[in-house]
Amino acid sequence: MTPTIDAHVHLDTHPTHPSAVIAVLTGSQTHVAHLGLEAADWTVVADNTLVLVRIDHEEPYWAQEAAQHLAAEGIAVEITPRLREAMAEEWTWANYPMPWCTRSEIREVSNQAQKIHDDIRHGHLLIHAHAHDGNTTVAVGTYLGRTGRSVYLHGEDHLRQVADTFDSPAQALLAFEKIHAADMRPGPAPLTDTERAAAEARTPLVLIAAKPEPARPEPETVPVHLADAGDHDALLDAFLAAHDEWEKWRTWTDDTTHAIHESQTLRIERVHEALPRETAWTVAAYETPVSDRMWHLTATGTTPAPVLQALLHHLAEGDAWDTAIGSPVDEKTVTAATKPLTDAGWKHTVDGRWIRWTTPSGDVGIQFDAFAAQTPNSTLATWTIWAGPSIDHPTWTITASPYTPSVLLTDLAENLAHGTGPRRYTPVEVKRPAHLSTAPTGPRPRATTAHSSRSR
């Protein structure tokens, strides 16, 4: 269609946010395009500049939709090659909880979650209280305006859904309190990393451009649980280069590397583009090359580099990792695995089936689940090593199954109790408004062609 409105829209990827899209408007009738984009929830970040940023990382798809609408109205639209490439890509969420959904159905679920997020952000949905149900965040709120319906929300980010509706706030709060009284907190839950990153991407670009890049401070030495995550891929490459008894191969989609010990009974899986708090490492051991898995251990993408180095060092010690294969968890195992923590004066508490060891500050700990230890076929983690605000909202985690060798757990505990590592940035050095302070989230995985698929 030949442009009939004197407005030109230039679409490109955001300079700092991995999946967001920037629109720059020129011409004497830019207000026409401006109104159309704002109606589609694009945010003004500078003169005649808008940004589309979403919590489901589907910005290229919706930017393409916007481009088609603008063109249909007679507005010239230019899309950069790198954004066109992003629009053509197909990708999937790793470990998506609704695997039966098609790609379009997943996008619809995500779009509904986006609408809930936007309603909260714009003040249309008032959140009265929130809680953590053991798996995810739940909340109760009321839509303002004529409908005035109250809703029970389940999930975070692109998985948040309306699980139930109520006729009044009082009815909703009573039902919510009945289920979540012990963990109920007033107001909305703290922003997730994804929500914080999205908020940052909506800040005025002129401020981003005007603010000079701060000088990179020299790394400081901190307790190992506070150390930088570093480059996990480089860690694995260095490990494989130093140990030729391990063989490396990579999946055809190039998003995962597998390392297999020459015995064929110990394997490492490294997911390169996992989100920071998703599983990025899995170590699994087998009694024989063709037997079922005996034990396994996972680590998230934000796990500090020194912690992973300690794990890889242990795996490189040959027989050290298989000495306890097949040994069930008993009191002796638990005592041996946590002795370094006890010796270091960590706080020891028992809460039902859970036994925890934490530092006096409570920002790092190890949890043992006695129930999971007695149900080896369960998907529950027997051991959870974590650091962060709480075990429910950790910065990073390592989990281990019931038969994980106690000598490996002891090594990890020893490192956690006494190890140190480098950290280049500290929270007090980040000069941002409090509501925008965040650790950067990882980039959205990109497939190489429109016909390939990459796990998220």
- Taking only the tens place, the pLDDT of each residue in 308-348 is 999 999 998 855 455 444 567 888 889 999 999 999 999 99
Q: What is the pLDDT of residues 223-238, one digit of tens each?
A: 999 999 989 999 998 9
The CA distance from 263 to 387, in Å, is: 33
The neighbouring-strand residues paired with 293 are: 286
User: How do 453-455 and 90-92 pair as beta strands?
Assistant: parallel
270-to-215, 259, 273, 291, 301 alpha-carbon distances in Å = 32, 8, 9, 22, 10
Can you list the residues of the chain whose pLDDT is less than 50?
Answer: 207-211, 213, 320, 323-325, 426-456
pLDDT for the residue 47: 86
pLDDT for the residue 1: 52
Q: Which fold has domain 8-92?
A: Translation Initiation Factor Eif1 (3.30.780)
pLDDT for the residue 363: 92
361-to-136, 342, 425 alpha-carbon distances in Å = 24, 15, 20
337-to-30, 243, 340, 406 alpha-carbon distances in Å = 65, 27, 8, 5
pLDDT for the residue 433: 32
Residue 416, classified by CB atoms within 10 Å of its CB into exposed (0-12), middle (13-18) or buried (19+), is buried
Residue 10: enclosing H or E segment and its boundaries? Answer: strand 8-13
Tokens 């934000």 found at = 302
Tokens 């039966």 found at = 100
Q: Please give the full DSSP string across 335-376, using - where no structure is assigned.
A: HHHHHHHHHTT-EEEEETTEEEEE-TT-SEEEEEEHHHHT-T
Instruction: Please check whether residue 423 is in contact with residue 220, taking contact to mean a CB–CB distance below 8 angstroms.
Output: yes
pLDDT for the residue 449: 31
| Total residue length of the chain | 456
Domain assignments of the chain as residue spans, ordered by start: 8-92, 103-190, 222-423
pLDDT for the residue 454: 35
The CA distance from 285 to 77, in Å, is: 54
Q: Please give the full DSSP string across 133-186, using - where no structure is assigned.
A: -SSSEEEEEEE-SSS--EEEEESSGGG-EEEEEESSHHHHHHHHHHHHTTT-EE
pLDDT for the residue 255: 80
Q: Please give the full DSSP string across 96-139, using - where no structure is assigned.
A: -S-TTS-HHHHHHHHHHHHHHHHHHHTTSEEEEEEEE-SSSEEE
The CA distance from 234 to 103, in Å, is: 33
